[in-house]
Structure formats: structure tokens, C-alpha cells
Structure 1
Amino acid sequence: MSEPRLSVLKTYKLYVGGRFPRSESGRVYEVTDGERNWLANAPLASRKDARDAVAAARKGFGGWSGATAYNRGQVLYRVAEMLQGRREQFAAEVAAGEGLSKAASRAQVDAAVDRWVWYAGWSDKVAQVAGGANPVAGPFFNLSTPEPTGVVAVLAPQESSLLGLVSVLAPVLATGNTAVVAASERAPLPALSLAEVLATSDVPGGVVNILSGRTAELARPLAAHQDVNAIDLAGAAGEAELARELESAAADNLKRVVRPPDSAGAGWTADPGTDRLLAFVETKTVWHPVGA
């Protein structure tokens, strides 16, 4: 009679610059479900990994921000297609990480795919909402257009490992920014699997960089980094002291800051509106004389 075989647990890697490096320190941590069953090994990223991710995001910014809005929308729509194709895998990871039933986890994946499509559709429409022609007292055209702010550090929500992640990442990308994401510390697997989707989609390397590990350990160097232009503190919800510390560090180079929701269990199923789409854009105003 043969002995029952042991399952081989997957050891994930970081996603930086379109590649899958190990953590600089070589550290990993055990990812478990609500019953403390060992699911996988996730990399425990370091400050050096955070700096490498910022460098990769800056390198990828020119090409992504310079692409046409229509092209960005098509690329993001392809990501949604691939998310849909791996629905059962993501549903299993969400169920294990958040303690949801199969039906509830599938519903969250479906909502995440729908939200990604929704933001993809906004890519070539943001300028119509945030821009416009301004009346001036003179023979000039005065036009305002939104432009991406640059590299955005995103602390993914802790309690909504996929839908919350999509809700904070997709609007950053739709408006032409590049991102460094700190995945949910407790349930990082959907984010790490999203990295695999991005690597096999049309998203250029460096546009999205995904780190896993201790949120506070990653957030501090990202908030203080001089080449990060903005930071979303969604993952610091319920950690008022940490949020204040990060906001203070971000002020050193005048980063844009989106403050965390009042509670870690914020309702990510609500209509997102356009707030996050417009949070990380700058307005460029151009004057042009009327006539020949």
C-alpha cells in the first residue's frame, strides 16, 4: 500500500519590472487560511525590494503615460479577460484568505472583473470629465487636460484581497500612472496571482510592481521615497498611528496622499465613482492664440 503523498506548496515571488525576483533578503512567510492551514509561501519583501520596485515603476512610466488613452484601455481590458479565465483559482484564494464561502468568493471575483472592465472603459473618457475649454477675456484658446502624476505607491486593502486591490490599482493605471503595490499582508495570494496575469498580458514591464510582506515595513520607505509622487493609504485603514506617520513622511516631497477609509472593513462593493480616477492626475493648462 503506497504512502499518501505530501502536497508541494507553492513559493511565490515578487513582481518587479516585469520579472519575478526573489526577495532581496531571501525571506518568506507562511500564508495560512482561517483554520491555520498552510497554503503557500509568500516573499517577505525588504526596503531594498521597495526601492527596486520604485526604480522599475519610474522606468516604465514614460511608455505607459505616453501611450494613447484608447490603447491603455485595451491593454487593461485584456487583463480583465485573463482574470475571468482564472476565476476559479482566484475564487479559491479569496475564499481561503478571507474565510468566505465558495459562492461569496466567486461573487467577489466577478465584481473585481467587472470593476476592472469599468475602469478600463474610463481610460479614454477621463479627459472629457476632468478637462475642458476655459473661457478667457482675450483672443486665446485656454484648454485644460489631465495628465498622470507619476509613480504611485498603493497599499492594498487588508480585508478585501482582490476586489479592494482592483479598486485601488485599476484607477491608477487607467489614468496613465505606474504603481508599486504592497499586497494585503494577511491574504497576499490574489495579488501575487494577479502578478502572473499581468506578466502574461499586454501590460509592459514596470507598469505594475507587486510586493508582499509586512505592510508597515514596506509602507515607510515608499512614503519617504523621493521618486514616489503619490501614495494611497487604503491598506493602513484601522492603523491611525501608522497612517499619520506615513502622511507625515509623504509631505517631505509633497506627495499626493489618499487617506485610508475609516475602517479596515470598508465597503469596496459600493459604487466607486470617479474620486480615485481623479486623485492622481495633474491638470495641464495650455494657452493658444486664436487665428492664423
Structure 2
Amino acid sequence: MKRIEVLKTYKIYAGGKFPRTESGRYYLALNINGEPIANMCRGSRKDIRNAVVFARRALGAWSGKTAFNRSQILYRIAEVLEGRKSQFIEELILQGMTKSSALKEVESSIDRIVYYAGWCDKYCQIGSSVNPVSSSHFNFSTYEPVGVVGMIAPQDTSLYGLISALMPIIAGGNSCVLLANEKMPLCAVTFAEVLHASDVPGGVVNIITGHISELIKPLATHMDVNAISISNLPELKREIDLYSVDNLKRVRSYDVNWNSKGNQALHYITDFQEIKTTWHPIENIGGATSTY
């Protein structure tokens, strides 16, 4: 009699923990031959709501860290991913990639994390400005995080696209609720284990697996989500735009080949930043003007 393999059940990642989905449901992740390779939690509306609560709770501490400290934490993610490279290669092969392609994807993903780690303490210097004004004020503008970002992972890539879209969001001090690739979810949930071991505070990144069609609406209509990021899903753009109207969420829809090195750039960070302008009065004594 042929032995029945015991498939691993991958849990969701929310609030720095690995709970089972509130719904108790699961679905099968399949390999390229249509054979089951894992049980995946099938997330629900309640899981999305819980994840947003965790993301909002974590936002203040994460955005309040020094930019250099965020850079250190992102670099630590790259270090831990480097140490678990063989596991990610194996999972990519299970999902249909060749060994050489899988190795290239994992190494490119590590390099991309390092790229955004380097930007954490630099993007404000480049994008901020001191503005000329006609009154007795210093006037300067700088970036601050938009808040909680809902992200729908690219459905055409398992690891590289996820990292390429996620890293600029958290590099800029935002927190994130991420819907994993529905058909190739293994790397997303294993990457949650990397985040958990990398000094990333619980709740900064929350990863929900399940059917995208069931999870888009509760994420995009949630009033405590400030922005939405989608990649290579033009068929969902109009639907998400309509859902996002009520609280005027910022929607960023990318139609890009994440495998290209040209698709790592500063603007992916600033897409999820607000510009804060400060007016600071200058003392004017006896009609004298400032010499600053």
C-alpha cells in the first residue's frame, strides 16, 4: 500500500504570530503537475480585519524608529534569507521552476532587499526641501509614511515580485497587510518566518493566504487602510478603485516586470509617502531680518 504523505499546513502570519485562519478553512497548493504539495489556510474577512488592527497598532513604533535602525532590520532580513536560501530554492522548484532559475530568483530577491535597506536613511534627504516663502518663516517639506498599506502580491511570481513590492513599503516606515499569491503561496508564508526571525516588530507585515477574489473587498473597503498596492493585475484595478473611494485610499497599480533591475527605484518608496510641510516662525527684532 502506498504511503499517504502528511502535507504541511502553512498558517497565516498576523501580529507577529502564526495563527490558523479564523474560518478554519484550507485549500490545497498544487505543484506544476497538479499534485498537492501543502495545505494553505484560506483566509477570511475576519482575518483581514484582525491583520489591519495589528498593522495599525505596529505603525507608530515602526515609523518612529530611526531610519538607520529600519535599514539595519531590512539588512537583517537579507541575512536570514541568505541563510535559508536552500529552502526557498526547493519551494520554487516544487512550484515549477528549474534549479538555476530558482537560484537566480532567490539571490536576486536578497539583492533587492539590500538595495532598499540602503535607501531607508537616504530617501528623505533626497526628496525633502527647504521652500522659499515671503513671510518670516522657515518652510520645509519632508516625507512621512502614508500609514497602513494593503498589498496584493503579484500573481505571476512567487518570491521576487513579492519582495520587490513589499520592501519599499516597509522601508518607508509603513505597515502592511499582504495577500499572498493564491496559486504559488509557499514562499510568501516561508518568508513570514524570515521576517519573524529578523527583528521586524510584530504587526509591521501581516501575510494572509487564501482566495484573492474573497479577500480583495474586505481589504480595499477597510476604512483604516490608507493605501493599496497591486502589481500586474489590471483586471482588478477598476474594482479596487471603486472599493477605495469611501476613504480616498491611494491606489498604486504597477504593470512591470519585477525581474528587471530597472524596476527597483526611489519612487517605489515615495509612492507610499505623504509630504509634510512645516512653517517655523523666525523672530524679527527691531525690523531686522534673518541672516539665515
Please, which moves more after superposition, 84-93 or 132-141?
A: 132-141
Name the structure 2 match of 1:278. Answer: 270
1:219 aligns with 2:216: yes
Name the structure 2 match of 1:43. Answer: 41
Which of 16, 19, 22 is matched with 1:21 structurally?
19
The whole-number CA distance in structure 1 between the counterparts of 2:237 and 2:259 is 19
Name the structure 2 match of 1:246. Answer: 240
The whole-number CA distance in structure 2 between the counterparts of 1:210 and 1:18 is 10
1:180 aligns with 2:177: yes
1:137 aligns with 2:134: yes
Name the structure 1 match of 2:89. Answer: 91
Which of 35, 54, 57 is matched with 2:55 structurally?
57
The whole-number CA distance in structure 1 between the counterparts of 2:237 and 2:281 is 46
What is the CA distance between 1:137 and its match in structure 2? 2.1
What is the CA distance between 1:64 and its match in structure 2? 0.3
Aligned CA distance change for structure 1 residues 195 and 267 (closer, same or farther; 3 Å): closer
Name the structure 1 match of 2:250. Answer: 256
Name the structure 2 match of 1:198. Answer: 195
Count matched residues.
283
Paired residue type of 1:230: A
Judge conservation of contact 1:243–1:260 (CA < 8 Å) in 2: no
Paired residue type of 1:268: N
Which consecutive residues of structure 2, in runs of 5 or more, have no partner in the other structure? 285-292
The whole-number CA distance in structure 1 between the counterparts of 2:90 and 2:122 is 34
For the residue of structure 1 that corresponds to 2:91, the secondary structure is helix
The whole-number CA distance in structure 2 between the counterparts of 1:207 and 1:81 is 19
Look at both structures and tell me which one has the larger radius of gyration over its CA atoms: 2
Please report the TM-score for the alignment, with normalisation by the length of structure 1.
Answer: 0.93
The whole-number CA distance in structure 1 between the counterparts of 2:260 and 2:157 is 10
The whole-number CA distance in structure 2 between the counterparts of 1:25 and 1:13 is 12
Judge conservation of contact 1:160–1:268 (CA < 8 Å) in 2: no
Paired residue type of 2:125: Q
Which of 27, 30, 33 is matched with 1:32 structurally?
30
Q: Give a deviation string over 1:204-253, Cα, whole Å, max 9, x none.
A: 00000000011121111110000000001226x15x2x321111111110
Q: Give a deviation string over 1:22-79, Cα, whole Å, max 9, x none.
A: 0111111111111112211111001110111001100101100111111111011101
The whole-number CA distance in structure 1 between the counterparts of 2:258 and 2:113 is 17
What is the CA distance between 1:6 and its match in structure 2? 4.5
The whole-number CA distance in structure 1 between the counterparts of 2:283 and 2:71 is 35
Q: Give a deviation string over 1:252-281, Cα, whole Å, max 9, x none.
A: 10101002417xxx3432322222111110
Q: Give a deviation string over 1:178-214, Cα, whole Å, max 9, x none.
A: 0000000010010000111111220000000000011
What is the CA distance between 1:4 and its match in structure 2? 7.0
For the residue of structure 2 that corresponds to 1:42, the secondary structure is strand
Identity of matched residues, %: 48
1:117 aligns with 2:111: no
For the residue of structure 2 that corresponds to 1:202, the secondary structure is coil
Judge conservation of contact 2:160–2:258 (CA < 8 Å) in 1: no
Name the structure 2 match of 1:80. Answer: 78
Please, which moves more after superposition, 63-72 or 4-13?
A: 4-13
Name the structure 1 match of 2:231. Answer: 234
